[in-house]
A and B are shown apart, each in its own frame.
Chain A
Amino acid sequence: MIKGLHYKSIRVKITLVFVVIFTVILLPANNLIYQKVRDTLMAADDREIISEANILLEETSYSPQRIPLPNAQRLISLRVTSENFSQELFTSPGFPLLDEFDYYLDILQVDTLKIAVVNRELDDLPGSSLQLLLARSNAPLETQLKDLRRYLIVGNVLSVAISGILALVLSQVVLNPVSRMAKTASKISASDSLERVAVPKSRDEVQMLGETINDMLKRIEEGINSQNNFFASAAHELRTPLAVMQTELSVALDKETDQNIRKVLSNQLSETQRLSRIIQDFLLVSQLKTKTLIIRQDLQPVDELIYRALSKTKYLSQERGVEIQLNLQEDIDDFNIYGDHDKLENVLINILENAYKYGKPHDKVCISLKSNADAFFTIGFDNKLVEPIEDIASLTSQYHKSKEYSSGLGLGLWICNEILRLHQGELRLSQKNLTFKAQVRLPKKTEAT
């Protein structure tokens, strides 16, 4: 996973899609169903009250006058109407006052009452009709509709939530192998033999993806191995011709007196030496990458490593006119460590060469050797720089090539760091006010590791 980037999970995305789709489709559909059911219930209720009113009207007669008794919770109003007059025969107490226009409707709603209006022609009074208005409370229907609404809302919310949870669980089950693959893949580094991702036997696209990734890892591993083998065999094969060139140039230089020819030979010799070091670096990188670099654990004094490295880099310190100030902690009798003196010497040579090459010429390199309380020896290198180094932390990364401070391939300090790490030590680099500090920390000889 790349640092600093926030990844939105596919699980969350699938869940959101489910929730949105359910909300967009289910809510209007349920609303439509509710409207239909409400209309049907209201029509049935209307029919029921009209039929009840008709039955009551059938039981009513004008002459002799007979007024039926309505059921409980019912109010009636009875009138005789014709074109010219209307006469109220009976009205239950509490029956609401109506406008004249209302008497022409079949069903009307007044406050919480539903009123049905029915008429019957009077045979004994032609041109007139008997009109009965039956009112009853609308509350039961309203309660029924309210309940229906509540059930629908709860049902909607529950179905959206359950579908969201189901989508989350299902996508988790489907995507878990993918996320395991991503975790395994993120741990894979080029230095290891590449670990394969776990492939679920699900016979689906996830299994196909896992198998494709593993095929790809196999091809990468083969590529890395052949690259490392190439480094190792190329380094080995190039050694003898380089030894021939180096020896020929040294021998020719030894007896040559012509200054111009000496200069040419000397340049060629130093280029050949540089080439040797680059090849050595390649070999070390391939051994570090394939973890085949053997680190010996010999007992040796750490100050001797410094002396040998100083002696071997004398050619460069003299060329750059650099003076060496070396100070040892005085109260220490034993500077012994366990380690591979050859490789540790190369580390110190590399740091010294960098200090000479990229430090201020005709200046001083201060080296100190101290014994720390934390069971480590610290070798400090201080030198002045010509210009500050950008991004000092990346100097120890592989193939980093700082324009101010790096070996030919930008491998030098990375190799140093890796070799020190294999000795349970470390390389610390810092700069302040154009003073560059390199610190090599190596564990004291407590026991061979």
Chain B
Amino acid sequence: MKILIIEDEPKLAAFISKGLKQNGYTVDVSAHGSEGLEMAMVNSYDLVLLDIMLPGQNGFEIIKNIKGFKNEVPIIILSALTDTDQVIKGLDMGAVDYIKKPFDFDELLARIRVVTRRGSSAKITKLKTGSLEMDLVAREVRRDDHKISLTNREFNLLELLLRNINRVVTKTEIAEKIWEVNFDMGSNVIEVHMHQLRKKIDGEVDDKLITTRVGLGYIIEGMLIKS
């Protein structure tokens, strides 16, 4: 996984680079806008981490040029500019994320994982069981060819159950993987979302996909086709 950092603060660029290398990424660094743009165009990167205030060309110009050349490399903006307008401008121009300085390095890693997972999901783009079809790229769900509108969290919940097909997924596991929080036993948050998901997925068909295993968790049984 190759990442380009375009950042004019040498110490920050060096530490991000060091941290990313420790986590197994290959990293190139540029401290100049025009040079960074050239590197992004010449080499093939999985991700660009881009500052906004740069010598040569500023970050917004770099995004404009990269997108102008039909280069689809995902860009995450790292900036001390935190005005909502700047964030909107960056995202509107095609950046996939905007991280405000100062940031937690673990959060940066997590956001990089989200973006690169999106890229690598090119390998498996669809999950299918019975009449249910899940498009992981378009983030669409169909049952009997009818499009079902799910929230992000419901989508992730369904994906977790499908990826663990024929295995009971416990509530603790769901809480950790989907909410990243351990809920107390008295909480009803997973039940409420599962109820909503069931209403949307199984509501109008007889063949119910999601089954509750009392005291254990939830399960989808069947044959999973990955494509």
Q: With the chains together, A385 CA to B11 CA distance in Å?
A: 43
- The docked-state distance in angstroms from the alpha carbon of A333 to that of B198 is 13
- Residue-wise, chain A 296-319 has the 8 Å CB interface mask toward B (1 for contact) of 100001011001001100100100
* B22 sits at the interface (CB 8 A): yes
Please indicate the chain A residues that have their CB under 8 angstroms from the CB of B120 in the complex: none
Contact mask for chain B residues 74-86; partner A; CB cutoff 8 A; 1 contact, 0 none: 0000101111110
A314 adjacent to B183 (CB under 8 Å): no
Q: Is A437 an interface residue (CB 8 A)?
A: no
Known interface pairs A311-B181, A314-B181; A240-B12 also in contact (CB < 8 Å): yes
Which of B23, B84, B100, B181 is A296 in contact with, Cβ under 8 Å? B84
How many chain A residues touch B (CB < 8 A): the figure is 39
Stretch from A154-162, A165-173, A246-254, A411-419 contacting the other chain: A246-254
Interface mask (B137-175 → A, CB under 8 Å = 1, otherwise 0): 000000000000001110000000000000000000000
Alpha-carbon separation in the docked complex, A294 to B23 (Å): 37
A244 at the interface (CB under 8 A from B): yes
- Chain A contact surface mostly: helix
> Is B206 on the interface with A (CB-CB < 8 A)?
no
B152's nearest neighbour on chain A, judged by CB, is A304
Would A251 and B18 be within 8 Å (CB), given that A243-B12, A244-B12 are in contact?
A: yes
- A327 and B80 CA atoms in complex are apart in Å by 37
In the complex, A212 Cα to B121 Cα: how many Å? 70
Q: Nearest Cβ in chain A — how far from B34, in angstroms?
A: 21
Q: A236-B80, A246-B102, A254-B23 are in contact. Are A326 and B183 (CB under 8 A)?
A: yes
Cβ of A255 within 8 Å of any chain B Cβ, yes or no, is yes
The number of residue pairs between A and B whose CB atoms lie closer than 8 Å in the complex comes to 110
A242 within 8 A of B: yes
CB of A243 within 8 A of CB of B101, answer yes
Interface assignment of A404: CB less than 8 Å from any CB of chain B? no
Q: Given A247-B15, A301-B151, A364-B184, check contact A294 B83 (CB 8 Å).
A: yes
Cβ–Cβ < 8 Å partners of A247 in chain B:
12, 15-16, 19, 103, 105
- Cβ–Cβ contact A328 & B181, under 8 A: no
Tell me if A146 counts as interface (CB < 8 A to partner B): no
B11 touching A244, Cβ below 8 Å: yes
Residues of B within 8 A of A283 (CB): 82
Interface flag for B93 (CB, 8 Å): no
| Contact partners of A236 in chain B: CB under 8 A | 80-81
Point out the residue from A276, A311, A325, A342 that lies within 8 Å of B186, measured CB to CB. A325
Q: A28 → chain B, closest Cβ, in Å?
A: 78
Q: Which residues of A contact B23 (CB under 8 A)?
A: 254
In whole Å, how far is A325's beta carbon from the nearest beta carbon of chain B?
A: 4
**Residue in contact with B80 in the complex, picked from A240, A246, A328, CB distance below 8 Å:** A240
B9 at the interface (CB under 8 A from A): yes
Q: Does A13 contact B (CB under 8 A)?
A: no
Q: Is the CB of B181 within 8 A of A243?
A: no
- For B101, what are the chain A residues with a Cβ–Cβ distance below 8 Å? 239-240, 242-243
Q: Does A340 contact B (CB under 8 A)?
A: yes
Q: In the bound complex, what is the Cα–Cα distance between A236 and B86 (angstroms)?
A: 14
B184 and A324 within 8 A (CB) = yes
Chosen A-B contacts, 10 in total, with CB atoms closer than 8 Å, are A236-B80, A242-B101, A247-B15, A247-B19, A250-B106, A251-B19, A296-B88, A301-B151, A325-B186, A325-B187
A contact residues vs B (CB 8 Å cutoff): 236, 239-240, 242-248, 250-251, 254-255, 272-273, 276, 283, 294, 296, 301, 303-304, 307, 310-311, 314, 317, 323-328, 330, 333, 340, 342, 364
Given contacts A324-B187, A326-B184, A364-B184, 12 further A-B contacts (CB under 8 A): A239-B100, A242-B101, A244-B9, A246-B105, A247-B15, A247-B103, A250-B19, A251-B18, A294-B84, A307-B181, A310-B180, A327-B189
